[in-house]
Amino acid sequence: MRLKKNLPAPDIADLIGWHVSSVRRVHAQYYKDGDKIFKGVSRGGRHRENLSKEEEEKLLKQFFNKAKDGGILVVNEIKLAYELEIGHKVPKSTVYRMLARHDWRKIVPYRRHPKADLDKQEAFKKTFGNSWRRSSQTNKKGPKSSFDVSG
């Protein structure tokens, strides 16, 4: 618009609904970089990453293999190895985010043991209840009161 219609930045901002500073920023980028600013080059990315995804995968591989063999994945151990790799301390949340990036999930054990015998448990429930009661509770004949309410 500026080149074809010779409009100033405030008029262009009114036409397209932008702030004047945004229009001026686009003009400055266009003068600096030309048409490539409109090609849609992404600006995002892991600018503050400590390790690349491949390095993270290499670090986690040993822990995942140990967990597959029946071991438990201990986050503190991973955190220590991560800190040794990068050379400074990090919070636990960094390690949990790394684990999430590599599709780790916490597997919770079953509520019941796989070798549990339900018949033995039921028999235990039936016999255990009678053995723990106090004898004073079983021999009660009624409430004891200090006054007579018969009428």
66 or 21, higher pLDDT: 21
Q: What range does the domain containing 60 cover? A: 53-101
If asked whether residues 97 and 73 sit together in one domain, one would say yes
Q: Which of 61, 86, 101 is the last residue of a domain?
A: 101
Domains: count for the chain: 2
- pLDDT for 85 beyond 70: yes
Which of 76, 85, 81 has its CA nearest to residue 50? 85
Q: Which of 63, 78, 101 is the last residue of a domain?
A: 101
Which of 89, 91, 101 has its CA nearest to residue 56? 101
Model confidence pLDDT, tens digit, residues 116-125: 888 888 888 8
pTM of the model: 0.47
Q: Which of 84, 101, 118 is the last residue of a domain?
A: 101
In a domain, residue 82? The reply is yes
- pLDDT for 51 beyond 70: yes
Put residue 64 in one of left, alpha, beta given phi > 0 → left and psi -120 to 50 → alpha. alpha
Given the structure tokens 């100033």, which residue do they identify? 8
Which of 83, 108, 107, 105 has its CA nearest to residue 94? 83
